[in-house]
Structure 1
Amino acid sequence: MSPRKIVLRFGPDISNKPVIYRLVKDYDLMVNIVKANVNPQKEGTMVLELTGEQYDRGLDYLRSCGVVVQDLTQEIVRNEEKCTSCGACTAICPTGALHIQRPEMIVCFNSDDCVVCQLCVRACPVKAMEVRL
């Protein structure tokens, strides 16, 4: 079974509970935290890759805790006609999905490594990075 990317959103009442630990321990799920913004007593967001036999039961558990679970349905695409390979997006990309290929000095994009944080969309001066739903 290949990993599925999901987004978790939760409120301050859940941010200090071990929900990810429970996914691993109780539901035998393999978790790869791709991106997280979690602070005690504040709202939190996580992007996860999740794999395992009890995937659906694990998601039901999260929902029962008050976690909003969404499939990662958006994707980032690079419009190669607009791109000037300035590299502004590569400096801001937290996963390295965007990088400069040397010695050609062109921007390369690996969508498999993208976590759809959309930082590149805001950083691109020519709007070559786009969100596709």
Structure 2
Amino acid sequence: MAAKKIILHFGKDISDKPIIYHLAKDYELVFNIIKANVNPNKEGTVVLELTGEQYAKGLEFLESEGVRVQPLAEQLSRNELKCTSCGACTDICPTGALYLDRPSMEVRFDSDSCVLCQICVKVCPVKAMEVKF
């Protein structure tokens, strides 16, 4: 089974629970934490790669605990109207998720390779890259 990238949104009321532990222990899911952020109010987001036979049951568990789950691909977008295909984002993308398609020389995006590092958002001169949490 292929790993799926998801974003988990935790509220302060559940931030002290061992939720990720239960995904591994109770549902035998393999996870890779790509990025995590917890603010001073103990609310946070975690970007995960998650795989395993009980993936659907694991997601049900997360939702039953009050965790909001979103697929990672919904979070990054390239505004095609703004994009000039300058390639600034393709030079800086650490995973190659943004690349120039040859011979057309148009910027393309492979969401499966994206780790939501947000470097592309910072370097895009026309602000065509948009990330929403």
Q: Structure 1 length normalisation: TM-score?
A: 0.68
Q: Secondary structure at the match of 1:49?
A: strand
Unmatched 5+ stretches in structure 2 = 98-106
1:21 aligns with 2:21: yes
User: C-alpha separation between the residues in 1 aligned to 2:95 and 2:79?
Assistant: 11
Which consecutive residues of structure 1, in runs of 5 or more, have no partner in the other structure?
100-107
Contact 2:89 2:120 in 1 (8 A): no
1:26 partner letter: D
> Contact conserved, 1:98 with 1:109, CA < 8 A, in 2?
no
How many residues in Structure 1 have an aligned counterpart in Structure 2? 119
CA RMSD between the two structures: 3.3
Deviation per CA, 1:25-82, whole angstroms, max 9, x where unpaired?
A: 1100000111111357521001111111111111111111110011223344597x82
Quote how far apart the aligned CAs of 1:127 are.
Answer: 3.8
CA–CA distance in structure 1, aligned partners of residues 40 and 18 of structure 2? 12
Are 1:97 and 2:109 counterparts?
A: no
1:82 to 75, 81, 84: 84
Q: TM-score, normalised by structure 2?
A: 0.68
Counterpart Cα distance in 2 of 1:97 and 1:23: 26
Give the Cα separation in 2 of the matches to 1:21 and 1:78.
Answer: 37
- Percent identity over the alignment is 54
| Structure 2 counterpart of 1:50 | 50
86 and 40 in structure 1: CA distance in 2 versus 1, 3 angstrom threshold: closer
Distance 1:36 1:48 in 2: 9
- 1:69 maps onto 2:69 in alignment: yes
Deviation at 1:109, TM superposition (A): 8.0
- Separation (CA, whole Å) in 1 of partners of 2:95 and 2:31: 20
- Is the Cα contact below 8 Å between 1:6 and 1:72 reproduced in 2? yes
* TM superposition outliers: structure 1 runs of 4+ over 6 Å: none
